[in-house]
Structure 1
Amino acid sequence: MQSVLDEFLGLWLDKNGNLLFIKPWNTGGVKVSFASGKTKAPVERGFMQQQLTIDVPGEFHEGFGELIVQFGPPYYGPQLHLRHEITDIYEGKPSLEPSHALVASAPKEKKEWLQWLEPLDDYVLVDDDRKEAVLSSYQLSST
């Protein structure tokens, strides 16, 4: 399972300039930092939990690992679902296909969430030689 989780680690950017920075965390999970392409500033959240699921039935085809990032209280806040893939679309570069679950979210959470995440577009892995420059432009640190 750790090898599947490792596929999600890195700095990811979508075509709208929204950024995901996924790095290892001391509990064997991951820490996810977000920054909006509109404001170039990190988006703060009071509580996050991450969960990795393998062979998720339903939306994604069997055999793919999916990382679920939970915002707010477990099972009630918005979720961002990310599927790792490598396709010809991005010339063989890894990408994350996102979807979200807002079903049980409060209207205020939905509004805030959609304000900067919509429309959802694939996140593409940022090359190592550009990583530090991108992080500093979004006011994020690599540590």
Structure 2
Amino acid sequence: MVIITTKKGADGALTVGVASKVSTSSANKLPEVQTVFGPGSLSANGVLNTASYNSWGPKIPADSTKYDNIGNFFRHSIVYDNNVNVSGGNKNGSFFCPVPTTNRMVSFRKRIMRRRHSDLTASSVMAV
């Protein structure tokens, strides 16, 4: 049997570690928006169907309001990553418990996405 240990508590006193990071995120490139033609499509018999979601209907008048839904959806966001961990041990065993938290402040619809999880790794030497 092979056991691979990646992180473990160290011998000695209880240790608490804290790490924080702030980063930003935004879309690098957005697709071009078609703003020449309105909704609609031609059916096989040549009749214009304006109830269609296709964008090949009549030309949009120059004085009409044009909306940039793609640009309004993808906005700049800020990401906060915080990590607290507790570890400890002695000659008979050790433990390591990280508790990372990620908060992503997303601008679309003023939402905050949060992710939290924790792990516990423990090892023990048993006398035979």
TM range (shorter): under 0.3
TM-score normalised by length of structure 1: 0.25
TM-score normalised by length of structure 2: 0.27
Which structure would you say has the larger RCO, counting Cα contacts within 8 Å and 6 or more residues apart? 2
Q: Which has the larger Rg?
A: 2
Higher strand share: 2
